[in-house]
Structure 1
């Protein structure tokens, strides 16, 4: 499976870049899935709904399905957080999986960077970051793209993964 990441510090523009890349790359006829790492607890379920009641009752997995989509919720119940590789193995085959976060994993990545956040770049210390998408010009030892030049960033990623 072809995997490419988007990393960066908080408010660097990762999610916006991911959204634009999915639109751009699927618009070119490729199938894309995404994986998003959350550093906090999250819930796709709501108290009082049947699926939430099933989980609270102790179900290990709850699969919620309709004619438009399904969602599988798996309660870890004390298990370690699954690795990115374990999560990727659960996905149906697609042309490309874009991963937001998982900056410490070994897959190739582009770093989103906004100068206004005041954060230092991750790239100088991380050889898995193959390019930077920034709102400010800079000179580095790898390509730097305008953060909003989605088409060029998509060209770079697709070339990197051989699509």
Structure 2
């Protein structure tokens, strides 16, 4: 059983809506334990084994070969595209490292001034050795790139501003 970011997010939301205090999923590749925190609407996640198939969890899963570590409670779900006046911010859906191009010797996916279409890849976020392509959710013109190449990013951090068209 492999979990992707969407499934993990749904699992956390479903757990939050129940009286279940703890849920553990195990398979040969990983073990994931979700525990509700004392405050309503918060869950604490534990994970072991670095073979989780997706590191796209906004809760910044801690994965180690050592005993599981507690992780900070999830942040309020922020939309991937947030309005800033007439500009839209493309935000990071996970904690990781921001890359502007598919490889060090290749040109960037987008530059300031480029026109983009919804669904177009605009960057890569590397998390736990997995390269996650981030696709634009709006069409328009890139007016600002807010993060430098190979810089660490946080969940919800603005990456680019787009003038929607």
Asked if Structure 1 and Structure 2 have the same fold, meaning a TM-score greater than 0.5 normalized by the shorter chain, the answer is no
**Normalised by the size of structure 1, how large is the TM-score?**
0.26
The structure that is helix-richer by fraction is: 1
Higher relative contact order (CA 8 A, sep 6+): 1
